[in-house]
Chains A and B, each alone.
Chain A
Amino acid sequence: MEKTNFIWDMFGTNIWTVLAVISLPLLFVLVYALIAILAELKVSAWIQERVGPMRTGPYGILQPIAEVVKLIQKEDITPDLSSKLLYNLAPFIIFTGAYAAFAVIPFSEAFVPAGIDVGLFYVFAIGSISAMGIVMGGWASNNKYSLMGAMRSVSQLISYEIPAALAVLSIVVLASSMNMQEISRAQTGWFWNWFIFGGPGDWTKVWVVPFTLALAITYFIASLAETNRVPFDIPEGESELVAGFHTEYSGMKFAMFFFAEYANMFVVAAILTTIFLGGWNSPFGDFMQGPWWGAMWFISKSFFIVLIQIWIRWTLPRYRVDQLMYLGWKVLLPVALVCFLAISLFVMIK
């Protein structure tokens, strides 16, 4: 295994360090989810000229904890005619899918839980597990709204995985690696070395800058769809499908969906950060560069993307299901394909 993990460097590889490596991202997800929930509440409040929650703690910063406590206390309802095993399994599968992706996310140059060489490939493979969970939950609920939501959700996931994968593939071609740590390392230096600006290299890279920029936007749009965020929150489209595939879920199982959604938001933001925004690299060359600073840069860049997702959610209306497919297949896919070919050509000629 590559030396990309400070825990193994310090304590060697044994059962305790493995457990620590596994649970560190979990700890991170939990803390991050709480912050993201608060951000969602507060950002939506600012956008809508409200103050948001103010009663729990100073400026309401303890509100997410209160929400989680509320969810834990709620009755756990299982519909009578549901398929019990699948119904109960689904939330955990979805959360597992979302959480497993954290294994390859390079938080810092000294910490990536599992530095495998096909990291990006793994992320896409494991991301599809949540589609399975969604169909499971939607079908097992024995509810028409859930079923429709699940079907929409899966078709959406599949459709948008293609442009997203093409965008990622182009960067793989540019960086000639699928290892996320390698990709991050390739972008070391000033921010113009980031892949969104064509990656490292001499002035000839200006030819690819428009394509990489377009790819970054494509990937961002596709990632919104993959995480079921507005304007692509059709599977849970509140106005028609009540709550989509998780209509029947309550209490802690609902909380699992909730956490999985926020975890997914972070995963796509983290991938965007890694492949386009330089990962854990400082934007200003050697300034504030280093393992600890790297974690700071990485998390703040990712969180910035998450904030943009939240911002979009509270601004835009929702697409219709056929319009969403149109956008995915007839706009994003050709754009991504053209960019991919152009970048491949560029790499070949160079």
Chain B
Amino acid sequence: MSEIKRMDLEYSQLDSDRMRINVGPQHPSTHGVLRLEVEVDGEIVTEVVPHLGYLHRSFEKHCERMTYQQIIPYIDRMDYISAMNNEWPYVMALEKMLDIKVPEKVEYLRVIVSELNRIANHQIAVATFGLDAGAFTPFLFYFRDREYIIWILEKLSGARLLYNYFRVGGMAADIYPTFKQEVLDVVAKVRKTNAEIMNLLIYNSIFIKRTAHVGILTPEVAINYGCSGPVLRGSGVAHDLRRDEAYSVYDRFDFEVPVGKGEVGVVGDSWNRNMVRVNEMEQSCRIIEQAIAQMPDEGDVTALIPKRIKIPKGEVYMRAENPKGDLGFYIVSNGTDKPERLKARGASFVNLSVIPEISKGYMFADLILILGSIDIVLGEVDR
């Protein structure tokens, strides 16, 4: 931090014109159609104004005209990187309102697919973060591995990206015979690549120079801005709904909640946020291994799925730990088969709002890295 401050002082002595640059909506590293209006003083960022809405698809308005089952594929399209995780809080909210207790096997299957999807999401997040820093090779290493995860999810659900796999009261399809073995193989692959990436990217001295002490987010600011997921944990706040609220069967697994420790840089900087994701992949691997071991073989995952869903009057806010943070659904039911109001509180939307706060005073190149370390997906920001 001291380095940054010194730079600030020196530059403030100079009287120079400020330049406004539009970063996006078409730019290689805004991770989608985000537009940042950036004011720079030479290379120093003095102001960032995000402009959203380039991917706004009226998700909430659409939901009011669709039955509860029809909404599930739409939810996939919010955070399209981790579609499995997205569906879970929604389905969970409806199950809570309908008072359905899903079978054990379904719970374990949900844990496994969600954790697999979490690994896939973090792989993309770390990979694109490396790409923002200019390292291309880790990106492809991760994409190679992600393919194996996608193959498993494809065999389960029939889709590679937008799965539409969760159902109220169950899952769309049962597992296939070699499922467990394939999942364990993938876990081994994920671990191997992560060990490789540690040397290639994470502890690379240039990468550390670029990301440590950059975009420092203090825990107070993070909580006040409503940050969640790795962004909040990178600031040292051990908040993980899988442990704190222990929905589903997460209370049966032994896993840690990785937080930013500041082993490199300081707690809350971009390096630590990224490191949380790398560590979470390992924790997800542990959860998957335990879930595979505990998962019952018998049981029909489709047995309890109701044909028609009519939710009794009421309203529920349900959130779950998504790879990007807390994804919450506020569902108001008016007693019919369509929701009266459905509000999605996307983690990316809230996490992105902290960008203007933490990127001031850093260099223009740092802004891109800070944005990368937040790990947003515009489908969820704009909905």
Chains A and B touch each other in the complex, with CB atoms below 8 Å apart? yes
Q: Which residues of A contact B (CB under 8 A)?
A: 44, 47-50, 144-145, 148, 230-231, 233-234, 237-240, 242, 314-323
Question: Once the chains bind, are B28 and A231 in contact (CB under 8 Å)?
Answer: no
Bound together, the chains give a CA A338 to CA B10 distance in angstroms of 29
Knowing A144-B21, A238-B28, A315-B200, the reply to whether A322 touches B43 (Cβ < 8 A) is yes
Contact yes or no, B134 A49, CB < 8 A: no
CB-based contact B144/A321 at 8 Å: no
CB–CB A48/B141 < 8 A: yes
Please name all residues of chain B whose beta carbon is closer than 8 Å to the beta carbon of A238 when the two chains form the complex: 28-29, 134
Q: Which residue of A lies closest to B7 (CB)?
A: A322
Cβ-closest chain A residue relative to B366: A320
Decide: B130 and A317 in contact? CB cutoff 8 A. Answer: yes
Q: Is A231 touching B134 in the complex (CB atoms < 8 A)?
A: yes
Interface size in chain B (residues, C-beta < 8 A): 32
Q: Which residue of A lies closest to B136 (CB)?
A: A314
CB of B132 within 8 A of CB of A239, answer yes
Residues on B with beta carbons closer than 8 Å to the beta carbon of A47: 137
**Contact of B98 with A by CB under 8 A:** no
Question: Residues 159-203 of chain B: 1 if any A CB is under 8 Å from the residue's CB, otherwise 0?
Answer: 000000000000000000000000000000000000000001100
Instruction: Check if A239 sits within 8 Å of B21, measured CB to CB.
Output: no
A334 to nearest B CB, angstroms? 19
Having A240-B364, A320-B209, one finds 6 other A-B pairs with CB under 8 Å, namely A48-B137, A237-B134, A238-B29, A238-B134, A317-B134, A323-B210
Q: A316, B43: Cβ atoms under 8 Å?
A: no
Residues in chain B near residue A144, CB distance under 8 A? 19, 21
A239 touches B209 (CB 8 A): no
Known: A144-B19, A144-B21, A239-B29. A322 touches B135 (CB 8 A): no
Q: Is the CB of B365 within 8 A of A320?
A: yes
Bound Cα distance from A217 to B270, whole angstroms: 31
Contact of A240 among B135, B136, B368 (CB under 8 A): B368
Report the bound CA distance from A50 to B141 in whole Å: 10
Q: How far is the CA of A154 from the CA of B286 in the complex (A)?
A: 51
Interface assignment of B70: CB less than 8 Å from any CB of chain A: no
Set of chain B residues within 8 Å of A319, measured between Cβ atoms: 206, 209-210
A–B complex contacts, Cβ < 8 Å, 11 sampled? A47-B137, A48-B140, A49-B140, A49-B141, A148-B364, A237-B365, A239-B134, A240-B367, A320-B363, A320-B366, A323-B209
B28 touches A239 (CB 8 A): yes
Chain B window 126-138, contacts with chain A (Cβ cutoff 8 Å), 1 for yes, 0 for no: 0000111111110
B363 contacts across to A, CB distance below 8 A: 320-322
Contact status A315-B210, CB under 8 Å? no
Q: How far is the CA of A330 from the CA of B368 in the complex (A)?
A: 26
Query: Within the complex, which residue of B28, B43, B204, B364 is in contact with A317, where a contact is CB–CB below 8 Å?
Result: B204
Contact of B365 (CB < 8 Å), options: A48, A145, A240, A316: A240
Question: What residues on B are CB-neighbors of A148 within 8 Å?
Answer: 43, 364
Task: Give the distance in Å from the alpha carbon of A44 to the alpha carbon of B141 in the complex.
Answer: 12
Chain A residues near B136: list those with CB within 8 A. Answer: 44, 48, 314
- B381 nearest CB across to chain A (Å): 19
Return the contact of B137 from the options A233, A240, A314, A318 (Cβ within 8 A).
Answer: A314
Closest to B140 in A: A48
Q: Determine the chain A residues whose CB is within 8 A of the CB of B141 once the complex forms.
A: 48-49
- Contact partner, B207, options A233, A234, A237, A317, Cβ 8 Å: A317
Main secondary structure on chain A at its contact with chain B? loop
- CB-CB under 8 A from B144, the residues of chain A are 49
Chain A residues, Cβ within 8 Å of B51: none
Question: Chain A nearest CB: distance from B358 CB in Å?
Answer: 17
Q: Does A316 contact B135, Cβ atoms closer than 8 Å?
A: yes
Q: 10 tightest A-B contacts by CB? A: A318-B134, A317-B135, A317-B133, A239-B29, A48-B140, A317-B134, A239-B132, A240-B368, A317-B207, A240-B365
A231: chain B residues at CB < 8 Å are 134, 206
CA distance A49 to B136 in the complex (A): 12
Distance in angstroms from B43 CB to nearest chain A CB is 6
B155 at the interface (CB under 8 A from A): no
Chain A residues with CB under 8 Å of B364's CB are 148, 240
Chain B stretch 1-44: residues in CB contact (< 8 A) with chain A? 7, 19, 21, 27-29, 43
Chain B residues positioned under 8 Å from A237 (CB to CB): 134, 365
Say yes or no: B210 contacts A317, CB within 8 Å: yes
Separation of A234 and B21 alpha carbons in the complex (Å): 17
Task: Kindly state the separation between the CA atoms of A238 and B30 in the bound complex, as whole angstroms.
Answer: 12
Kindly report which residue of chain B lies nearest to residue A144, judged by CB atoms.
B21
Min distance, Cβ B215 to any Cβ of chain A, angstroms: 13
- Bits for B334-368, please: 1 = Cβ < 8 Å to A, else 0: 00000000000000000000000000000111111
User: Chain A nearest CB: distance from B1 CB in Å?
Assistant: 15
| Shortest distance from the beta carbon of A307 to any chain B beta carbon, whole Å | 16
Contacts of B28 in A (CB 8 A): 238-239, 242
Query: What residues of chain A lie closer than 8 Å to B132, measured between beta carbons?
Result: 239
B23 to A, closest residue via Cβ: A240
- Alpha-carbon separation in the docked complex, A279 to B210 (Å): 37
Least CB distance, A46 to chain B, in whole angstroms: 11
Chain A residues with CB below 8 A from B135, complex form: 315-318
CB distance from A44 to the nearest CB of B (A): 8
Closest to A315 in B: B137
Most chain A CB within a 10 A radius of its CB, from B7, B134, B141, B210: B134
Inter-chain contact A239/B368, CB cutoff 8 Å? yes
A278 to chain B, nearest CB (A): 31
Write out the residue numbers on chain A whose beta carbons fall within 8 Å of the beta carbon of B137: 44, 47-48, 314-315
Tell me the minimal C-beta distance from B112 to chain A in angstroms: 27
> What distance in Å separates the Cβ of B133 from its nearest Cβ neighbour in chain A?
4
Which of B43, B144, B365 counts the most chain A CB atoms within 10 A?
Answer: B365
Given contacts A47-B137, A48-B137, A144-B21, contact A317 B29 (CB under 8 A): no
Please indicate the chain B residues that have their CB under 8 angstroms from the CB of A317 in the complex. 130, 133-135, 201, 204, 206-207, 210
- Neighbouring B residues of A145 by C-beta, 8 Å: 21
List of B residues within 8 angstroms of A318 by Cβ: 133-135, 206, 210
A148 CA / B20 CA spacing, docked (Å):
12
Residues of B within 8 A of A48 (CB): 136-137, 140-141
List the A side residues contacting B367 at CB < 8 Å: 240
What B residues does A242 contact at CB under 8 A? 27-28
> A322 vs B140: C-alpha distance in the bound complex, in angstroms?
28
Known: A48-B137, A144-B21, A238-B28. A316 touches B131 (CB 8 A): no
For residue A51, give the distance in angstroms from its CB to the closest CB of chain B.
12
B190-231 interface code vs A (CB 8 A; 1 in, 0 out): 000000000011001011011000000000000000000000
CB distance from B109 to the nearest CB of A (A): 32
Instruction: For residue B377, give the distance in angstroms from its CB to the closest CB of chain A.
Output: 17
A323–B366 CA distance with the chains assembled, in angstroms:
12
